[in-house]
Amino acid sequence: MNELVAWPMDEKEYTASGLGAAYSARSRGILRGTDFTASANGNLTVTIGVGLGCLHVNDFWAIFPVCSTAQTLTFADSDGSLDRIDIIALQLDKNANTAGLEVIRGTAAAVPAYPAVRRNDDYDEIFLYAVYRTAGTTEITAADITDLRLNGDYCGLMESELDSVDTSVMEAQIEAFISENETAFAAWRQQQEQNFETWEGNQEDSFEDWSTNQQATFEAWVDSIRDILDSATAGHLQLEIDDAEINDLLDHGFASSVTTINGSTITETEQITEGGVTTNGRSIVTTTSQSGGIKTITSILYSALGAEVARAVTTVNGSTITTVQTRV
């Protein structure tokens, strides 16, 4: 067997690297968001409170620097003419085999920038705070200090990398899928609306043709039997002719009328002229409604006194047209 270091095993001696390997899945960062709290002291020092952090010696070795008592850090004087940004870091110096709090001095510049985080063969570090050093100032205030402890690019909370999954690729795929399907759905919906409008236009034309044909058929039938009816039959037929007149009014309205349109409601009022005087007579109120793919047209014939005389309800469902008429 090519034996490997495995911790913990019975009656085995271990080096620091063996123990550190057990925690190598722990990411760099601090234990709690309240660890290593900073306080400005009104001079060139900043006090850092207690806390626990995690740094890496290498991919298979993690260490945990602990600050059990408050530490005071001293900063160098600010530049005389240019600003700079200093960093308070939790740092591992691999060559010196030491870990602790360190002030990293930034570079003075017209537009100062953060120093780069070092994670190499010589150092491993996390940035706790950025301290803006205005040129010529002799003290550090709370306003100069920027908290980086919860910024994952510089520090963050330590966590198990076994539980830390990068979901950015998955999120990008989901967003792309949603965007693509939103576009496709919008195109599909537009096509469906156009198809429905075409269908509705065709159905209206078909209904008009059907209504005209029905009227012509009825009138031709009446003409064909007019001369062979006796008086009794003619009297009986008068009721049917009255019904036919009602049908004709419901289908085609009055010969002379005033029409008003209010939304989906059309009202026709009969105009009666006698002795040069025109008055309002009967009326027909037609309403149109749509439910799903079914269109309903309701026409109600009212007497001159406003009483309902009859109604016709026509439903258009695809290529099927159904009309039901009732009398009062």
Kindly indicate the confidence band of residue 164, based on its pLDDT and cuts at 50, 70 and 90: low
> With contact defined as beta carbons under 8 Å apart, do 48 and 73 qualify?
yes
Architecture of domain 16-162: Sandwich (2.60)
pLDDT of residue 235: 56
pLDDT over threshold 60, residue 237:
no
Provide the residue ranges of all domains of the chain, joining segments of one domain with +: 16-162, 182-327
> With contact defined as beta carbons under 8 Å apart, do 88 and 65 qualify?
no
Determine the angle formed by the axes of helices 231-252 and 168-225, rounding to 10 degrees.
150
pLDDT over threshold 80, residue 317:
yes
More confident residue, 240 or 93: 93
Mean pLDDT of the chain: 85
Which has the closest alpha carbon to 61: 154, 124, 1? Answer: 124
Q: Are strands 84-93 and 123-133 parallel, antiparallel or unpaired?
A: antiparallel
Counting residues of the chain whose pLDDT is more than 70, the rounded percentage is 89
Rounded to whole angstroms, how far apart are CA atoms 263 and 222?
A: 37
Which has the closest alpha carbon to 88: 44, 147, 140, 29? Answer: 147
pLDDT of residue 80: 93
Mean predicted confidence (pLDDT) in 140-168 = 83
pLDDT over threshold 80, residue 155:
yes
pLDDT of residue 245: 78
Least trusted range by pLDDT, from 35-44, 113-122, 206-215: 206-215
pLDDT of residue 22: 73
Which tokens go with 93? Answer: 């110096």
Q: What is the full DSSP assignment across 56-88? A: EEETTEEE--EE-S-EEEEPPPPPSSSBEEEEE
pLDDT of residue 149: 94
pTM above 0.75, yes or no: no
Which has the closest alpha carbon to 318: 228, 192, 196, 234? Answer: 196
